[in-house]
Chains A and B, each alone.
Chain A
Amino acid sequence: MNTVSYAMELPGANVANPALSSRPSVGKLSIRDASIIYDPEGVHVVAVENCSLEIPAGEFCVIVGPPECGKTTLLNAIAGFRDLTFGEIYLDDQLLCSADKTTPPGADRIVVFRDGALFPWDTVLDNVIYGPVVQGKMKKKEAREAGEELLSRMGLVGISRSYPGEISCGMRRRAEIARAMMNDPKVLLLDEPFRAMDALTRTVIQKYLLDVYDASNKTVFFITHDLEEAIFLGTKVVVYTARPGKVKKLIQVDIPRPRDFRVLSSERYQDLKEEVIEAVRDEARKAIEADERKRA
Protein backbone atom coordinates (compact mmCIF):
# COMPACT_ATOMS: atom_id res chain seq x y z
CA MET A 1 0.00 0.00 0.00
CA ASN A 2 2.82 2.36 0.89
CA THR A 3 4.45 1.89 -2.42
CA VAL A 4 1.44 2.94 -4.33
CA SER A 5 0.48 5.89 -2.24
CA TYR A 6 4.00 7.14 -2.79
CA ALA A 7 3.86 6.45 -6.47
CA MET A 8 0.53 8.10 -7.05
CA GLU A 9 -0.03 10.61 -4.33
CA LEU A 10 -2.47 12.61 -6.36
CA PRO A 11 -5.47 11.51 -8.38
CA GLY A 12 -5.23 11.48 -12.13
CA ALA A 13 -6.56 14.51 -13.90
CA ASN A 14 -5.98 17.38 -11.51
CA VAL A 15 -2.42 17.39 -10.41
CA ALA A 16 -1.23 20.03 -8.00
CA ASN A 17 1.89 21.97 -8.71
CA PRO A 18 4.64 19.40 -8.93
CA ALA A 19 7.16 21.96 -7.71
CA LEU A 20 5.59 21.40 -4.31
CA SER A 21 6.17 17.68 -4.35
CA SER A 22 9.67 16.97 -3.16
CA ARG A 23 12.23 16.11 -5.79
CA PRO A 24 13.13 12.46 -5.53
CA SER A 25 16.57 11.52 -4.37
CA VAL A 26 16.79 8.21 -6.21
CA GLY A 27 16.95 7.35 -9.85
CA LYS A 28 19.96 9.28 -11.10
CA LEU A 29 21.30 7.64 -14.25
CA SER A 30 24.77 8.37 -15.60
CA ILE A 31 25.88 6.86 -18.83
CA ARG A 32 29.60 7.36 -19.33
CA ASP A 33 31.33 6.69 -22.63
CA ALA A 34 29.12 3.71 -23.27
CA SER A 35 29.81 1.70 -26.41
CA ILE A 36 28.02 -1.40 -27.54
CA ILE A 37 29.44 -3.43 -30.38
CA TYR A 38 27.61 -6.45 -31.73
CA ASP A 39 29.88 -9.32 -32.55
CA PRO A 40 33.20 -7.47 -32.00
CA GLU A 41 35.26 -10.33 -33.43
CA GLY A 42 33.21 -10.84 -36.54
CA VAL A 43 30.77 -8.50 -38.25
CA HIS A 44 31.59 -5.72 -35.78
CA VAL A 45 28.49 -3.58 -35.81
CA VAL A 46 28.83 -0.52 -33.61
CA ALA A 47 25.36 0.04 -32.20
CA VAL A 48 26.24 2.65 -29.60
CA GLU A 49 29.44 4.69 -29.65
CA ASN A 50 30.89 6.73 -26.79
CA CYS A 51 27.52 7.72 -25.52
CA SER A 52 27.55 9.93 -22.44
CA LEU A 53 24.40 11.15 -20.80
CA GLU A 54 23.51 12.42 -17.35
CA ILE A 55 19.91 11.99 -16.28
CA PRO A 56 19.24 13.58 -12.89
CA ALA A 57 16.86 11.90 -10.48
CA GLY A 58 13.26 12.51 -11.45
CA GLU A 59 13.94 13.77 -14.94
CA PHE A 60 11.78 12.84 -17.90
CA CYS A 61 14.39 12.16 -20.54
CA VAL A 62 13.27 11.42 -24.08
CA ILE A 63 15.58 9.89 -26.65
CA VAL A 64 14.76 10.56 -30.28
CA GLY A 65 16.67 9.34 -33.27
CA PRO A 66 16.37 7.53 -36.55
CA PRO A 67 15.41 3.85 -36.56
CA GLU A 68 18.09 1.29 -35.69
CA CYS A 69 20.33 3.92 -34.17
CA GLY A 70 20.96 1.95 -30.98
CA LYS A 71 18.33 3.54 -28.75
CA THR A 72 16.80 0.24 -27.74
CA THR A 73 20.23 -1.34 -27.37
CA LEU A 74 21.13 1.31 -24.81
CA LEU A 75 17.83 0.76 -22.99
CA ASN A 76 18.49 -2.97 -22.92
CA ALA A 77 21.87 -2.33 -21.32
CA ILE A 78 20.29 -0.20 -18.59
CA ALA A 79 17.59 -2.82 -18.04
CA GLY A 80 20.21 -5.56 -17.70
CA PHE A 81 19.35 -7.55 -20.81
CA ARG A 82 22.78 -7.05 -22.38
CA ASP A 83 26.24 -5.80 -21.47
CA LEU A 84 28.37 -2.90 -22.59
CA THR A 85 31.47 -3.34 -24.71
CA PHE A 86 33.08 -0.25 -23.21
CA GLY A 87 32.13 2.38 -20.68
CA GLU A 88 29.90 2.33 -17.64
CA ILE A 89 26.36 3.02 -16.59
CA TYR A 90 25.70 4.12 -13.02
CA LEU A 91 22.42 4.22 -11.17
CA ASP A 92 22.61 6.48 -8.11
CA ASP A 93 26.40 6.34 -8.30
CA GLN A 94 26.42 2.57 -8.14
CA LEU A 95 27.91 0.73 -11.06
CA LEU A 96 25.08 -0.91 -12.96
CA CYS A 97 26.70 -2.03 -16.11
CA SER A 98 30.21 -2.08 -17.59
CA ALA A 99 32.35 -4.27 -19.78
CA ASP A 100 32.87 -6.74 -16.92
CA LYS A 101 29.66 -6.33 -15.01
CA THR A 102 25.98 -6.58 -15.72
CA THR A 103 23.39 -6.24 -13.02
CA PRO A 104 20.59 -8.68 -13.79
CA PRO A 105 17.20 -7.16 -14.56
CA GLY A 106 15.27 -6.11 -11.49
CA ALA A 107 12.31 -4.19 -10.21
CA ASP A 108 14.31 -1.00 -9.74
CA ARG A 109 14.42 -0.55 -13.52
CA ILE A 110 11.13 -1.55 -15.06
CA VAL A 111 10.77 -1.73 -18.82
CA VAL A 112 7.54 -1.03 -20.66
CA PHE A 113 8.10 -2.93 -23.87
CA ARG A 114 7.53 -1.75 -27.39
CA ASP A 115 4.75 -4.14 -28.33
CA GLY A 116 3.49 -4.71 -24.83
CA ALA A 117 4.25 -7.56 -22.51
CA LEU A 118 1.24 -8.03 -20.29
CA PHE A 119 1.03 -11.75 -19.62
CA PRO A 120 -1.96 -12.90 -21.68
CA TRP A 121 -2.72 -15.79 -19.28
CA ASP A 122 -3.10 -13.55 -16.22
CA THR A 123 -5.97 -11.17 -15.63
CA VAL A 124 -5.25 -7.45 -15.77
CA LEU A 125 -5.22 -7.27 -11.98
CA ASP A 126 -2.92 -10.28 -11.63
CA ASN A 127 -0.60 -8.63 -14.13
CA VAL A 128 -0.57 -5.38 -12.20
CA ILE A 129 0.19 -7.04 -8.88
CA TYR A 130 2.72 -9.47 -10.36
CA GLY A 131 5.82 -7.55 -9.26
CA PRO A 132 5.15 -6.95 -5.57
CA VAL A 133 3.67 -10.44 -5.15
CA VAL A 134 6.57 -12.40 -6.66
CA GLN A 135 9.05 -10.24 -4.81
CA GLY A 136 7.21 -10.97 -1.58
CA LYS A 137 6.79 -7.26 -0.88
CA MET A 138 3.03 -7.45 -0.51
CA LYS A 139 0.47 -10.04 0.48
CA LYS A 140 -1.81 -10.95 -2.37
CA LYS A 141 -4.88 -9.42 -0.77
CA GLU A 142 -3.12 -6.18 0.04
CA ALA A 143 -1.65 -6.05 -3.46
CA ARG A 144 -5.07 -6.59 -5.00
CA GLU A 145 -6.49 -3.62 -3.16
CA ALA A 146 -3.56 -1.44 -4.12
CA GLY A 147 -3.76 -2.68 -7.70
CA GLU A 148 -7.47 -1.92 -8.02
CA GLU A 149 -6.83 1.53 -6.60
CA LEU A 150 -4.03 2.22 -9.04
CA LEU A 151 -6.02 0.88 -11.99
CA SER A 152 -8.98 3.11 -11.20
CA ARG A 153 -6.66 6.09 -10.99
CA MET A 154 -5.43 5.22 -14.45
CA GLY A 155 -9.02 5.32 -15.63
CA LEU A 156 -9.29 1.54 -15.80
CA VAL A 157 -12.41 0.63 -13.89
CA GLY A 158 -14.18 -2.70 -14.21
CA ILE A 159 -11.59 -4.49 -16.27
CA SER A 160 -9.37 -5.87 -13.54
CA ARG A 161 -10.67 -9.40 -14.08
CA SER A 162 -10.54 -9.22 -17.84
CA TYR A 163 -7.66 -10.76 -19.71
CA PRO A 164 -5.31 -8.49 -21.68
CA GLY A 165 -6.61 -9.96 -24.94
CA GLU A 166 -10.08 -8.67 -24.15
CA ILE A 167 -9.29 -5.01 -23.68
CA SER A 168 -8.20 -2.29 -26.06
CA CYS A 169 -4.64 -1.40 -26.92
CA GLY A 170 -4.82 1.86 -25.01
CA MET A 171 -6.09 0.08 -21.90
CA ARG A 172 -3.32 -2.47 -22.17
CA ARG A 173 -0.68 0.26 -22.29
CA ARG A 174 -2.13 1.93 -19.23
CA ALA A 175 -2.32 -1.37 -17.40
CA GLU A 176 1.30 -2.01 -18.25
CA ILE A 177 2.36 1.38 -16.92
CA ALA A 178 0.36 0.57 -13.78
CA ARG A 179 2.18 -2.77 -13.50
CA ALA A 180 5.47 -0.91 -13.69
CA MET A 181 4.46 1.72 -11.13
CA MET A 182 3.35 -0.95 -8.64
CA ASN A 183 7.01 -1.80 -8.15
CA ASP A 184 7.97 1.74 -7.21
CA PRO A 185 10.94 1.57 -9.59
CA LYS A 186 13.85 3.97 -9.51
CA VAL A 187 13.77 4.34 -13.26
CA LEU A 188 10.99 3.74 -15.72
CA LEU A 189 12.28 2.59 -19.12
CA LEU A 190 9.78 3.01 -21.94
CA ASP A 191 10.65 1.75 -25.39
CA GLU A 192 8.37 3.42 -27.94
CA PRO A 193 5.38 2.44 -25.83
CA PHE A 194 2.78 4.27 -27.90
CA ARG A 195 4.05 3.23 -31.29
CA ALA A 196 1.24 0.94 -32.35
CA MET A 197 -1.52 3.30 -31.33
CA ASP A 198 -3.83 5.57 -33.28
CA ALA A 199 -3.19 9.30 -32.82
CA LEU A 200 -6.32 9.93 -30.77
CA THR A 201 -5.72 7.16 -28.25
CA ARG A 202 -2.10 8.16 -28.05
CA THR A 203 -2.83 11.69 -26.88
CA VAL A 204 -5.06 10.35 -24.11
CA ILE A 205 -2.50 7.82 -22.92
CA GLN A 206 0.27 10.42 -23.06
CA LYS A 207 -1.72 12.54 -20.67
CA TYR A 208 -2.10 9.60 -18.30
CA LEU A 209 1.63 9.04 -18.40
CA LEU A 210 2.25 12.72 -17.67
CA ASP A 211 -0.10 12.54 -14.70
CA VAL A 212 1.69 9.50 -13.38
CA TYR A 213 4.99 11.27 -13.85
CA ASP A 214 3.86 14.50 -12.24
CA ALA A 215 2.52 12.62 -9.26
CA SER A 216 5.52 10.39 -8.74
CA ASN A 217 8.52 12.21 -10.18
CA LYS A 218 10.17 9.01 -11.26
CA THR A 219 13.15 9.14 -13.53
CA VAL A 220 11.86 8.27 -16.99
CA PHE A 221 13.93 7.06 -19.91
CA PHE A 222 11.61 7.26 -22.88
CA ILE A 223 12.43 6.22 -26.43
CA THR A 224 10.42 7.46 -29.37
CA HIS A 225 10.75 8.66 -32.91
CA ASP A 226 7.72 10.90 -32.64
CA LEU A 227 9.16 14.39 -32.20
CA GLU A 228 5.94 16.00 -31.00
CA GLU A 229 5.55 13.33 -28.38
CA ALA A 230 9.15 13.92 -27.32
CA ILE A 231 8.65 17.62 -26.65
CA PHE A 232 5.20 17.23 -25.15
CA LEU A 233 6.39 14.68 -22.60
CA GLY A 234 10.05 15.35 -21.96
CA THR A 235 12.03 17.58 -19.70
CA LYS A 236 15.06 16.88 -21.78
CA VAL A 237 15.11 15.69 -25.38
CA VAL A 238 18.21 13.84 -26.48
CA VAL A 239 18.73 13.68 -30.22
CA TYR A 240 20.60 10.57 -31.20
CA THR A 241 22.74 10.23 -34.30
CA ALA A 242 22.26 7.55 -36.93
CA ARG A 243 24.16 4.34 -36.24
CA PRO A 244 26.57 4.25 -34.52
CA GLY A 245 24.39 5.95 -31.98
CA LYS A 246 25.72 8.77 -29.87
CA VAL A 247 24.27 11.95 -28.45
CA LYS A 248 24.04 14.66 -31.06
CA LYS A 249 22.13 17.35 -29.24
CA LEU A 250 20.53 17.96 -25.88
CA ILE A 251 17.48 20.15 -25.80
CA GLN A 252 15.98 21.30 -22.50
CA VAL A 253 12.21 21.59 -22.76
CA ASP A 254 11.42 24.53 -20.50
CA ILE A 255 7.67 24.28 -20.86
CA PRO A 256 6.28 24.29 -17.31
CA ARG A 257 4.45 21.32 -15.84
CA PRO A 258 1.75 20.13 -15.44
CA ARG A 259 1.32 20.21 -19.16
CA ASP A 260 -1.81 19.66 -21.19
CA PHE A 261 -2.88 19.94 -24.78
CA ARG A 262 -2.71 23.72 -24.79
CA VAL A 263 1.04 23.25 -24.81
CA LEU A 264 0.83 21.95 -28.34
CA SER A 265 -0.28 25.30 -29.71
CA SER A 266 2.15 27.44 -27.71
CA GLU A 267 4.88 29.39 -29.40
CA ARG A 268 7.61 27.87 -27.25
CA TYR A 269 6.51 24.40 -28.28
CA GLN A 270 6.70 25.33 -31.96
CA ASP A 271 10.20 26.79 -31.55
CA LEU A 272 11.42 23.68 -29.76
CA LYS A 273 9.85 21.47 -32.37
CA GLU A 274 11.68 23.27 -35.10
CA GLU A 275 14.92 22.91 -33.19
CA VAL A 276 14.44 19.19 -32.78
CA ILE A 277 13.36 18.68 -36.39
CA GLU A 278 16.48 20.53 -37.51
CA ALA A 279 18.67 18.22 -35.46
CA VAL A 280 16.90 15.02 -36.40
CA ARG A 281 16.48 15.66 -40.11
CA ASP A 282 20.18 15.34 -40.87
CA GLU A 283 20.37 12.08 -38.98
CA ALA A 284 17.30 10.65 -40.61
CA ARG A 285 18.78 11.43 -44.01
CA LYS A 286 22.05 9.78 -43.05
CA ALA A 287 20.21 6.71 -41.82
CA ILE A 288 18.28 6.43 -45.05
CA GLU A 289 21.42 6.86 -47.13
CA ALA A 290 23.26 4.23 -45.09
CA ASP A 291 20.35 1.88 -45.54
CA GLU A 292 20.32 2.46 -49.29
CA ARG A 293 24.06 1.88 -49.49
CA LYS A 294 23.64 -1.37 -47.60
CA ARG A 295 20.95 -2.54 -49.99
CA ALA A 296 22.79 -1.46 -53.15
Chain B
Amino acid sequence: MQTKTIDVKAMAEEEISSVSQAVLRSGAKHALTTSTPYLAAVGLLSTLAGWYLLCEFFKVPYFNELPGPVAVAREWFSRNPKFGLSIYTPEYYQHICRSTWRVIQAFLWATALGVPLGLFMGWEKTFKDYTFPVLELLRRIPMLAWVPLAVLMFPGREGSVIYVTFLGAFFATTLNTLLGVQSIDEVYLRAARCLGSSSRQVFFRIILPGALPFIFTGLQISMGYSWFCLIAGEMIAGEYGLGYLIWTSYITVAAPVLVIAMVTLGFLGWVSTAAIRLIGRCLMQWQVREMAQ
Protein backbone atom coordinates (compact mmCIF):
# COMPACT_ATOMS: atom_id res chain seq x y z
CA MET B 1 0.00 0.00 0.00
CA GLN B 2 2.88 2.26 0.88
CA THR B 3 4.51 1.85 -2.50
CA LYS B 4 1.23 2.50 -4.17
CA THR B 5 0.84 5.83 -2.41
CA ILE B 6 4.32 6.85 -3.43
CA ASP B 7 3.63 5.85 -7.00
CA VAL B 8 0.56 8.00 -7.09
CA LYS B 9 2.50 10.93 -5.67
CA ALA B 10 5.33 10.53 -8.12
CA MET B 11 2.89 10.34 -10.99
CA ALA B 12 1.10 13.40 -9.79
CA GLU B 13 4.35 15.32 -9.48
CA GLU B 14 5.44 14.27 -12.91
CA GLU B 15 2.18 15.33 -14.40
CA ILE B 16 2.11 18.69 -12.65
CA SER B 17 5.69 19.53 -13.60
CA SER B 18 5.02 18.63 -17.22
CA VAL B 19 1.91 20.76 -17.13
CA SER B 20 3.73 23.75 -15.68
CA GLN B 21 6.52 23.35 -18.21
CA ALA B 22 3.99 23.32 -20.99
CA VAL B 23 2.43 26.47 -19.60
CA LEU B 24 5.84 28.15 -19.38
CA ARG B 25 6.77 27.11 -22.88
CA SER B 26 3.49 28.24 -24.32
CA GLY B 27 3.89 31.49 -22.34
CA ALA B 28 7.30 32.22 -23.87
CA LYS B 29 6.07 31.23 -27.29
CA HIS B 30 2.95 33.23 -26.79
CA ALA B 31 4.97 36.40 -26.37
CA LEU B 32 6.60 36.08 -29.76
CA THR B 33 4.20 34.20 -32.01
CA THR B 34 1.12 36.33 -31.48
CA SER B 35 0.71 39.74 -33.02
CA THR B 36 0.19 41.44 -29.63
CA PRO B 37 3.75 42.64 -28.87
CA TYR B 38 4.36 43.80 -32.43
CA LEU B 39 1.11 45.72 -32.58
CA ALA B 40 1.98 47.32 -29.24
CA ALA B 41 5.33 48.46 -30.63
CA VAL B 42 3.68 49.82 -33.76
CA GLY B 43 1.13 51.73 -31.66
CA LEU B 44 3.82 53.22 -29.46
CA LEU B 45 6.03 54.24 -32.36
CA SER B 46 3.22 55.81 -34.35
CA THR B 47 2.19 57.84 -31.31
CA LEU B 48 5.74 59.13 -31.03
CA ALA B 49 5.82 59.82 -34.76
CA GLY B 50 2.53 61.72 -34.57
CA TRP B 51 3.87 63.77 -31.69
CA TYR B 52 7.03 64.50 -33.61
CA LEU B 53 5.16 65.48 -36.78
CA LEU B 54 2.79 67.80 -34.96
CA CYS B 55 5.34 69.59 -32.79
CA GLU B 56 8.65 69.51 -34.61
CA PHE B 57 8.10 68.70 -38.26
CA PHE B 58 5.01 70.66 -39.23
CA LYS B 59 5.21 72.91 -36.16
CA VAL B 60 1.43 73.14 -35.89
CA PRO B 61 0.79 76.45 -34.07
CA TYR B 62 -1.70 74.86 -31.70
CA PHE B 63 1.11 72.75 -30.21
CA ASN B 64 3.61 75.58 -29.83
CA GLU B 65 3.97 75.16 -26.10
CA LEU B 66 4.35 71.40 -26.20
CA PRO B 67 7.98 70.34 -26.62
CA GLY B 68 8.47 67.68 -29.24
CA PRO B 69 9.86 64.19 -28.56
CA VAL B 70 13.30 65.10 -29.84
CA ALA B 71 13.53 68.16 -27.56
CA VAL B 72 12.39 66.09 -24.60
CA ALA B 73 14.79 63.26 -25.39
CA ARG B 74 17.66 65.70 -25.86
CA GLU B 75 17.02 67.13 -22.41
CA TRP B 76 16.35 63.76 -20.82
CA PHE B 77 19.54 62.09 -21.98
CA SER B 78 21.81 65.14 -21.87
CA ARG B 79 24.88 65.31 -19.65
CA ASN B 80 24.42 69.06 -19.45
CA PRO B 81 20.66 69.56 -19.38
CA LYS B 82 19.45 73.04 -20.22
CA PHE B 83 16.83 73.02 -17.48
CA GLY B 84 18.95 71.11 -15.00
CA LEU B 85 17.27 67.72 -15.05
CA SER B 86 18.20 64.55 -16.94
CA ILE B 87 19.06 60.93 -16.29
CA TYR B 88 22.57 62.14 -15.32
CA THR B 89 21.45 64.48 -12.56
CA PRO B 90 20.90 63.05 -9.08
CA GLU B 91 17.85 65.30 -8.56
CA TYR B 92 15.91 63.25 -11.08
CA TYR B 93 16.33 60.13 -8.97
CA GLN B 94 15.69 62.01 -5.80
CA HIS B 95 12.29 63.06 -7.12
CA ILE B 96 11.50 59.53 -8.25
CA CYS B 97 12.57 58.01 -4.94
CA ARG B 98 10.62 60.48 -2.86
CA SER B 99 7.44 59.97 -4.85
CA THR B 100 7.79 56.18 -4.96
CA TRP B 101 8.52 55.97 -1.26
CA ARG B 102 5.46 58.09 -0.47
CA VAL B 103 3.27 55.91 -2.65
CA ILE B 104 4.65 52.74 -1.10
CA GLN B 105 4.01 53.99 2.42
CA ALA B 106 0.51 55.20 1.62
CA PHE B 107 -0.32 52.07 -0.34
CA LEU B 108 0.89 49.76 2.42
CA TRP B 109 -1.11 51.66 5.03
CA ALA B 110 -4.18 51.55 2.82
CA THR B 111 -3.78 47.82 2.24
CA ALA B 112 -3.04 47.04 5.88
CA LEU B 113 -6.14 48.92 7.03
CA GLY B 114 -8.43 48.56 4.03
CA VAL B 115 -8.23 44.81 3.47
CA PRO B 116 -8.99 43.79 7.08
CA LEU B 117 -11.70 46.44 7.29
CA GLY B 118 -13.33 45.25 4.08
CA LEU B 119 -13.07 41.60 5.12
CA PHE B 120 -14.60 42.35 8.48
CA MET B 121 -17.38 44.42 6.94
CA GLY B 122 -18.26 41.54 4.67
CA TRP B 123 -18.04 39.07 7.53
CA GLU B 124 -20.13 40.91 10.13
CA LYS B 125 -23.31 42.36 8.76
CA THR B 126 -23.92 44.54 11.83
CA PHE B 127 -20.49 46.06 11.53
CA LYS B 128 -21.08 46.73 7.86
CA ASP B 129 -24.40 48.41 8.63
CA TYR B 130 -22.57 50.80 10.99
CA THR B 131 -19.63 51.58 8.79
CA PHE B 132 -20.86 51.41 5.23
CA PRO B 133 -22.82 54.71 5.15
CA VAL B 134 -19.88 56.57 6.68
CA LEU B 135 -17.54 55.10 4.14
CA GLU B 136 -19.87 55.88 1.27
CA LEU B 137 -20.15 59.48 2.41
CA LEU B 138 -16.42 60.03 2.92
CA ARG B 139 -15.64 58.33 -0.36
CA ARG B 140 -17.73 60.89 -2.24
CA ILE B 141 -15.54 63.77 -1.11
CA PRO B 142 -13.09 64.40 -3.95
CA MET B 143 -9.58 63.66 -2.80
CA LEU B 144 -8.35 67.10 -3.84
CA ALA B 145 -10.76 68.62 -1.34
CA TRP B 146 -8.82 66.87 1.41
CA VAL B 147 -5.50 68.50 0.58
CA PRO B 148 -5.85 71.81 2.47
CA LEU B 149 -7.26 70.05 5.51
CA ALA B 150 -4.47 67.51 5.40
CA VAL B 151 -1.90 70.30 5.36
CA LEU B 152 -3.51 71.80 8.44
CA MET B 153 -3.92 68.43 10.18
CA PHE B 154 -0.35 67.23 9.78
CA PRO B 155 2.52 69.29 11.10
CA GLY B 156 5.07 68.17 8.47
CA ARG B 157 4.60 68.30 4.74
CA GLU B 158 5.45 64.66 4.38
CA GLY B 159 2.56 63.53 6.56
CA SER B 160 -0.05 65.50 4.68
CA VAL B 161 1.06 64.22 1.26
CA ILE B 162 1.10 60.62 2.44
CA TYR B 163 -2.28 61.07 4.11
CA VAL B 164 -3.94 62.27 0.92
CA THR B 165 -2.29 59.50 -1.08
CA PHE B 166 -3.44 56.99 1.51
CA LEU B 167 -7.05 58.19 1.35
CA GLY B 168 -7.20 57.67 -2.39
CA ALA B 169 -6.02 54.08 -2.08
CA PHE B 170 -7.90 53.24 1.09
CA PHE B 171 -11.47 53.54 -0.19
CA ALA B 172 -10.84 51.54 -3.35
CA THR B 173 -9.15 48.77 -1.38
CA THR B 174 -11.82 48.59 1.31
CA LEU B 175 -14.79 48.60 -1.01
CA ASN B 176 -13.35 46.04 -3.38
CA THR B 177 -12.47 43.76 -0.49
CA LEU B 178 -16.02 44.07 0.80
CA LEU B 179 -17.32 43.28 -2.67
CA GLY B 180 -14.99 40.29 -2.78
CA VAL B 181 -16.44 38.83 0.40
CA GLN B 182 -19.96 39.42 -0.85
CA SER B 183 -19.13 37.72 -4.14
CA ILE B 184 -18.34 34.42 -2.43
CA ASP B 185 -20.96 31.81 -3.27
CA GLU B 186 -23.03 30.86 -0.23
CA VAL B 187 -22.52 27.20 -1.08
CA TYR B 188 -18.83 27.36 -0.12
CA LEU B 189 -19.72 28.70 3.31
CA ARG B 190 -22.28 25.94 3.74
CA ALA B 191 -19.81 23.31 2.60
CA ALA B 192 -17.18 24.63 4.99
CA ARG B 193 -19.57 24.51 7.93
CA CYS B 194 -20.68 21.07 6.89
CA LEU B 195 -17.08 19.90 6.95
CA GLY B 196 -16.76 21.07 10.54
CA SER B 197 -14.92 24.39 10.22
CA SER B 198 -14.88 26.84 13.10
CA SER B 199 -15.66 30.49 12.36
CA ARG B 200 -11.97 31.26 12.33
CA GLN B 201 -11.30 28.51 9.81
CA VAL B 202 -14.15 29.71 7.62
CA PHE B 203 -12.60 33.17 7.69
CA PHE B 204 -9.10 32.10 6.76
CA ARG B 205 -9.87 29.22 4.43
CA ILE B 206 -13.00 30.47 2.64
CA ILE B 207 -13.52 34.21 3.07
CA LEU B 208 -9.92 35.27 2.55
CA PRO B 209 -9.05 33.16 -0.51
CA GLY B 210 -12.53 33.65 -1.93
CA ALA B 211 -12.22 37.43 -1.75
CA LEU B 212 -8.67 37.48 -3.10
CA PRO B 213 -9.50 38.06 -6.78
CA PHE B 214 -11.53 41.15 -5.91
CA ILE B 215 -8.93 42.30 -3.39
CA PHE B 216 -6.29 42.29 -6.08
CA THR B 217 -8.49 44.12 -8.53
CA GLY B 218 -9.01 46.66 -5.76
CA LEU B 219 -5.28 46.93 -5.13
CA GLN B 220 -4.62 47.67 -8.79
CA ILE B 221 -7.24 50.38 -8.79
CA SER B 222 -5.97 51.77 -5.50
CA MET B 223 -2.43 51.91 -6.86
CA GLY B 224 -3.76 54.11 -9.66
CA TYR B 225 -5.53 56.36 -7.18
CA SER B 226 -2.40 56.55 -5.06
CA TRP B 227 -0.37 58.10 -7.86
CA PHE B 228 -3.22 60.39 -8.73
CA CYS B 229 -3.59 61.72 -5.19
CA LEU B 230 0.15 61.82 -4.65
CA ILE B 231 0.63 64.29 -7.48
CA ALA B 232 -2.19 66.47 -6.19
CA GLY B 233 -0.66 66.42 -2.73
CA GLU B 234 2.87 67.06 -3.92
CA MET B 235 1.84 69.98 -6.10
CA ILE B 236 0.46 71.80 -3.13
CA ALA B 237 2.39 70.58 -0.15
CA GLY B 238 5.44 68.79 -1.48
CA GLU B 239 9.14 69.27 -1.33
CA TYR B 240 10.72 67.04 -3.89
CA GLY B 241 8.69 64.46 -5.73
CA LEU B 242 7.45 64.28 -9.30
CA GLY B 243 4.28 66.27 -8.58
CA TYR B 244 6.41 69.02 -7.07
CA LEU B 245 8.70 68.83 -10.09
CA ILE B 246 5.76 69.25 -12.46
CA TRP B 247 4.53 72.24 -10.53
CA THR B 248 7.90 73.99 -10.35
CA SER B 249 8.56 73.28 -14.05
CA TYR B 250 5.26 74.90 -14.79
CA ILE B 251 6.16 77.99 -12.79
CA THR B 252 9.65 78.23 -14.30
CA VAL B 253 8.28 77.36 -17.76
CA ALA B 254 10.60 74.36 -18.15
CA ALA B 255 8.37 72.48 -20.52
CA PRO B 256 10.72 69.55 -21.37
CA VAL B 257 11.17 68.79 -17.67
CA LEU B 258 7.43 68.84 -17.25
CA VAL B 259 7.04 66.23 -19.97
CA ILE B 260 9.90 64.15 -18.56
CA ALA B 261 8.16 64.07 -15.18
CA MET B 262 4.85 63.13 -16.78
CA VAL B 263 6.29 60.25 -18.81
CA THR B 264 8.20 59.04 -15.76
CA LEU B 265 4.97 59.02 -13.78
CA GLY B 266 3.21 57.03 -16.45
CA PHE B 267 6.01 54.50 -16.45
CA LEU B 268 6.11 54.20 -12.64
CA GLY B 269 2.35 53.75 -12.50
CA TRP B 270 2.52 51.00 -15.07
CA VAL B 271 5.38 49.19 -13.32
CA SER B 272 3.70 49.35 -9.92
CA THR B 273 0.38 48.03 -11.22
CA ALA B 274 2.14 45.25 -13.11
CA ALA B 275 3.96 44.29 -9.92
CA ILE B 276 0.67 43.94 -8.07
CA ARG B 277 -0.78 41.87 -10.88
CA LEU B 278 2.26 39.60 -10.72
CA ILE B 279 1.94 39.11 -6.96
CA GLY B 280 -1.76 38.39 -7.46
CA ARG B 281 -0.98 35.74 -10.02
CA CYS B 282 1.46 34.03 -7.70
CA LEU B 283 -1.10 34.01 -4.89
CA MET B 284 -3.96 32.88 -7.09
CA GLN B 285 -2.47 30.05 -9.08
CA TRP B 286 -5.88 28.40 -9.15
CA GLN B 287 -7.28 31.21 -11.24
CA VAL B 288 -4.33 31.33 -13.58
CA ARG B 289 -4.49 27.61 -14.21
CA GLU B 290 -8.25 27.65 -14.59
CA MET B 291 -7.93 30.26 -17.29
CA ALA B 292 -5.19 28.30 -19.01
CA GLN B 293 -7.70 25.50 -19.61
Taking Cβ atoms with an 8 Å cutoff, the residues of A that contact B are 79-81, 104-107, 109-111, 113, 115, 117, 119-123, 130-131, 134-135, 145, 148-149, 151-152, 157-163, 165-166, 179, 183
Contact = CB atoms under 8 A, between A and B. Distances in A.
A159 B206 CA distance: 22
Contacts of A166: 289-290, 293
A21 B4 CA distance: 25
Nearest to B13: A161
A45 to B, nearest CB: 20
State the main secondary structure of chain A at its contact with B. Answer: loop
B217 interface: no
B286 interface: yes
15 contacts: A79-B194, A105-B194, A107-B195, A117-B188, A119-B192, A134-B197, A145-B5, A149-B4, A149-B8, A159-B12, A161-B16, A163-B286, A165-B287, A165-B293, A166-B290
B8 A148 contact: yes
A152 B7 CA distance: 11
Interface in B236-293: 284-287, 289-290, 293
A165 B1 CA distance: 29
Nearest to A149: B5
B191 interface: yes
Contact of B194 (A110, A123, A159, A160): A110
A109 B15 CA distance: 34
B195 A160 contact: no
Contacts of B11: 157-158
Contacts of A104: 193
Contacts of A149: 1, 4-5, 8
B290 A105 contact: no
A166 B288 CA distance: 10
A183 B12 contact: no
Contacts of B4: 149, 152
B198 interface: yes
A157 B201 contact: no
A139 B23 CA distance: 33
A24 to B, nearest CB: 20
A227 B283 CA distance: 44
A162 to B, nearest CB: 7
B190 A105 contact: yes
A159 B15 CA distance: 8
Contacts of B289: 162-163, 165-166
A119 B191 contact: yes
B191 A106 contact: no
A158 B193 CA distance: 28
A165 B190 contact: no
Nearest to B17: A161
Most chain B beta carbons < 10 A, residue from A110, A134, A161, A165: A134
Nearest to B185: A117
A10 to B, nearest CB: 14
A123 B209 CA distance: 13
Nearest to A108: B196
A61 to B, nearest CB: 19
3 A-B pairs with the lowest CB-CB distances in the bound complex, closest first = A165-B290, A121-B209, A117-B191
Contacts of A151: 8
Interface in B83-123: none
A110 B290 contact: no
Contacts of A81: 190
B210 interface: yes
B30 interface: no
A130 B195 contact: yes
Nearest to A160: B12
Contact of B195 (A134, A148, A157, A158): A134
B9 A113 contact: no
B205 interface: yes
Contacts of A145: 5
Nearest to A115: B187
